[in-house]
Structure 1
């Protein structure tokens, strides 16, 4: 009897550990994304929808734009411009264009990063299509805006003051839902993120 109770308790503990591991697996992607957005870790730029560009001394920064699509999302996705030059501290606006090539309505969600990675904390996105998923009907196209600025503090940081080119990369993934119908961002495929960094 005592052995059965010990075995039952052990089984309950192991089941609890397994449930906890499954829960952490589901939470790891959104928690990691939140950590990256707050710290700028891994090339994730700062996001501040209330921010206003502070203005600067007129030093110019070249912003290059990159676009990728993962397998499973039949979209065409590209930046309207390959690059622009803006004064550091001034607000910039650019557009990406997405078109659904699938035979039905599909939804996608975009992740983003900045290279060089050390510049990410100084790249501030004010408004971005990546803040929510995008739904496109068959053959539908959409212009997707991004409003941003480069914080002038980039010029006073010894590790970034020589940076004059920043690349903003987006990767679109199929939007997924959990069992309750809530949107879940697909986890970035490590290969596509590394490829985007290598290409830039």
Structure 2
């Protein structure tokens, strides 16, 4: 007869690994849910995409910095093509990010973004970008991804933003849940996660 302590330890181990597997799955699923939430609410410095075109340059300018982060589960190299650029208020700006798939098979990713300081989110308009839409890169493929944007001149009239001279636009690329499931990335995300979760 099996030792009750050993049985309890086995059940506890299986439960813990099941929780880990669930958390890994949620980390992938959270990306599209977060994207929808941010697009609707503008939360965390997320700005609205699309919308009106730039009204034209006026007096005053800000420096826009560009940041890029890649989630560990996505085997891509992702970076901003430029560190920063000065932009006149009301003027259309164009920047580029670069992504490269460093594997020998196609991989699908999706990006989220935000701007800081968060208070400038409502004044930062992106008229075109690659965010929230799945992007598939073939084995070894490299691409440039454009972002067009403008900063509302009203930023200079708001007491909370009129002294801000630098805005940082940040993108983070994640592997899509569908791609992770298709390639088995979820199962390999932790030690024996897939096998342990299925153990009776």
TM-score by length of 2: 0.70
Instruction: Indicate yes or no: 2:50 matched with 1:45.
Output: no
Q: How many angstroms does 1:35 deviate by?
A: 3.9
Partner Cα separation in structure 1 for residue 176 and residue 104 of structure 2: 16
User: What is the CA RMSD across the aligned residues, in angstroms?
Assistant: 2.2
2:159 is aligned to 158
3-state SS of paired residue (1:157): coil
Partner deviation per Cα, 1:134-182 (whole Å, 9 max, x = no partner): 111111000000010011111111101111100000000001239xx9x
3-state SS of paired residue (1:129): coil
Q: Which has the higher contact order (CA 8 A, sep 6+)?
A: 2
2:104 is aligned to 103
1:55 is aligned to 56
3-state SS of paired residue (1:130): coil
Q: Which runs of 5+ in 2 are unaligned?
A: 1-25, 183-200
Question: Closer, same or farther in 2 for the Cα pair 1:151/1:66, shift >3 Å?
Answer: same
* 1:69 and 1:171 in contact (8 A); partners too: yes
2:3 is aligned to none
Count of aligned pairs between the two proteins: 154
Q: How many angstroms does 1:97 deviate by?
A: 0.5
Partner deviation per Cα, 1:8-53 (whole Å, 9 max, x = no partner): xxxxxxxxxxxxxxxxx999865653342243221101212x4210
Q: Which runs of 5+ in 1 are unaligned?
A: 1-24, 182-200
1:77 is aligned to 78
* 1:45 and 1:114 in contact (8 A); partners too: yes
Trace 1:74-153 onto structure 2 (pairs within 5 A). Answer: 74-153=75-154
* 1:105 and 1:135 in contact (8 A); partners too: yes
* 2:114 and 2:169 in contact (8 A); partners too: yes
Partner Cα separation in structure 2 for residue 173 and residue 70 of structure 1: 5
2:192 is aligned to none
* 1:127 and 1:146 in contact (8 A); partners too: yes
Partner Cα separation in structure 1 for residue 178 and residue 84 of structure 2: 34
Where in structure 1 do 4 or more consecutive aligned residues deviate above 3 Å?
A: 25-35
Partner deviation per Cα, 1:35-81 (whole Å, 9 max, x = no partner): 42243221101212x42101242211100000000011111111110
* 1:133 and 1:175 in contact (8 A); partners too: yes
